[in-house]
Amino acid sequence: MFNPSQLRLARKRRALTLTKLAEQSGVSLRSLTSYENGRQPPNTENLDKLASALSVPSTFFSRETVETIPVAAASFRKLSKTSATRRDAVLANASLTVQFFGTVATRFRLPEPEIPSLDKLAPAEAAELVRHRWELGDRPVANMIHLLEAKGVRVAALGHEYTDIDAFCFFRDSIPYVFLNTSRSAERQRFDAAHELGHLVLHGEQDMDPSSSKEREAQANEFAANFLMPSSRVLSQSMRAASIDRILAARSFWKVSAMAMTHRLHELNLLSDWQYRTTCIELSDRGYRSSEPGGISAESSQLLRKVMFGSANKVTISAAARSLDLETDDVAEFVRDLVPTLVGA
C-alpha cells in the first residue's frame, strides 16, 4: 500500500519542493500533488522514478507513517535565519533518527532518562543543582556526550551541510534527543551539548515559541557556561586580569573554547570590559574566533559504539538501513563522527 505521508517525508528531508521534485524525477507536478494528497497512488514506473530521485528504496513509501517532529518541539537557534525548507529537512531527518534509535532499543536496554525539570530556577542555579545531583562536584566534565548518554539522552549527528544550525534538542515520548553538528570544533560541540541540556532542563517539553526564543537561548547559554565552568572553581583559580597564556591554559583545563573561557571570566568580573575587548581581539587575531588551535579531540558516543560494534547482537549501519528502508549512507549520517561508520561493520 502506498502511504502519501511517506512521500511527503522523503521529499522534505531532501529539501525539495514539489516543483523541484517534478523536475528531478520526471513525474509531473500534477501527479505528485495527487500522490501527496492521497487522491491516487503512483504506478510502478513513477514509484521507481520517485525512489531514485529521493534516494530511498521504493518500499519506503509503503511504511507506516513516521510522525514528524513539530517545529514547536525543537530548540532551534536563530530560527529566523534558517529557511523553512531547510528546517523541515532537518526535522524530517530527525524523525527518521528517532526510528533508528527505536531499532536500537529493540535489541538493547538503553539508559532511562534522568533529566530533571527545573523550569522554576534561574539558569545558574539549575546548572549547579544538576551538577550536584549528578555528583560532578566542581571538576571539569570529562565527556559531555558520555554524560548525556548515561542520563538517557539519545545523541545523534546533524548533516554537515546544515552549517546554519549548531544543534537542537526535543523530547519524543518522554525521551530526550540532542542533535549535534559534528563538523564543529570539539570545544564548540561540548558547549552545544551543554546548551541543549540547558533547554531540556529549563524548558522541558514546552512549546518553543519563536517570539521568546531569544530569552530561551540566553538562558541555555547561561546554563551551559555555569555547567561547564562552575563559578566556585573558576573563582578559586586566580584568574583576575588573566593573560592570554593563562586563559589558554584554563580553556584546556575546562575543555572549552578560548572565547568561551574569556566570556566566562568577564561574566564573573575577573576581566574588565576593556580587558575583555582587548583579549577577544587578540584571540581573534590568533584564529580563535573561527577555530580552536591546539584544541581537544572530538568526543564520541560510547552508547552507539557498544550497540554497533560491541556484541553479537549489534545493530550495524547496513542492518539498520534495511530495517528502516533507507540507504546506508543516510543511516551513517545519523551517527557521523560519533562512531566509526563502516557500512558493513
DSSP labels, 193-236: HHHHHHHHHHHTTS---GGGHHHHHHHHHHHHHHHHS-HHHHHT
Residue 81 binned pLDDT confidence (cut-offs 50, 70, 90): low
Residue 164: closest CA among 97, 219, 71, 86? 86
Q: Are 345 and 189 in contact (CB under 8 A)?
A: no
In this predicted structure, what is the pLDDT of residue 80?
55
Do residues 190 and 335 both lie within one domain?
A: yes
Q: Does residue 6 sit in helix, strand or coil? A: helix
What is the rounded CA–CA span in Å between residue 100 and residue 326? 10
CATH of the domain at 28: 1.10.260.40
In terms of domains, do 289 and 308 share one?
Answer: no
State whether 90 and 125 are in the same domain.
yes
What does each C-alpha distance from 262 to 42, 287, 334 come to in angstroms?
A: 58, 14, 33
Task: Tell me how crowded residue 135 is: count the other CB atoms within 10 A of its CB.
Answer: 6
Which amino acid, one-letter code, is at 249? A
- Nearest 5°: the CA angle 191, 194, 196 is 110
| Total tally of structural domains belonging to the chain | 3
CA dist 181 and 157 (Å) reads 6
The residues, ordered by sequence, that sit 6+ positions from 129 with a Cβ below 8 Å of its Cβ are 116, 118, 121
290 and 342 in a common domain: no
pTM of the model: 0.93
Question: Apex CA 285: angle with CA 281 and CA 286, to 5°?
Answer: 120
Tell me: the pLDDT tens digits for 25-62?
Answer: 999 999 999 999 999 999 999 999 999 999 999 999 99
Do 293 and 159 sit in the same domain of this protein?
no
Last residue of a domain, one of 19, 47, 65: 65
**Model pLDDT, residue 344:** 46
> In the numeric block, which cell numbers belong to residue 67?
510522525
Average pLDDT, the chain: 92
> What Rg value do the Cα atoms of the chain yield, rounded?
22
What average pLDDT does the segment 130-139 reach? 96
Domain boundary residue among 49, 65, 81? 65
Q: What domain range is 82 assigned to?
A: 68-226+300-345
Q: What's the angle, vertex CA 59, arms to CA 54 and CA 63, rounded to 5? A: 100
pLDDT tens digits, one per residue of 292-302: 999 999 999 99
Q: For position 206, which CATH number holds? A: 1.10.10.2910
Average of pLDDT values for 86-111?
93
Q: Are residues 125 and 211 in the same domain?
A: yes
Are 113 and 152 a contacting pair, CB within 8 Å? yes
Decide which of 44, 65, 86 is a domain's last residue. 65
**Mean pLDDT of the region 168-181:** 94
Asked if residue 74 and residue 198 are part of one domain, the reply reads yes
Percent of the chain's residues with pLDDT above 90? 82
In this structure, the answer to whether residues 157 and 36 fall within a common structural domain is no
| Strand partners for 180 | 157, 167
Q: Work out the average pLDDT over 101-113.
A: 94
> Left if phi > 0, otherwise alpha if psi is -120 to 50, otherwise beta: which for 135?
left
Please report, for residues 168, 222, 300, the alpha-carbon distance to residue 258 in angstroms, rounded to integers and kept in the order given.
23, 17, 21
Q: Are residues 254 and 110 in the same domain?
A: no
Q: Inter-axis angle of helices 244-254 and 273-285, to 10 degrees?
A: 80
The answer to whether 146 and 192 have CB atoms below 8 angstroms apart is: no
Q: How far apart are CA 254 and CA 227, in angstroms?
A: 11
Distances (CA, A) of 241 to 1, 152, 213, 238: 68, 40, 33, 9
Q: Kindly state whether residues 37 and 144 are assigned to the same domain.
A: no
Residue 288 has pLDDT above 50, yes or no: yes
Q: Do 212 and 334 fall within a single domain? A: yes
Flag whether pLDDT at 343 surpasses 70.
no
Average pLDDT over residues 11-16: 94
Question: Do 189 and 246 share a structural domain?
Answer: no
Q: Cα–Cα distance between 137 and 104 in angstroms, integer?
A: 32
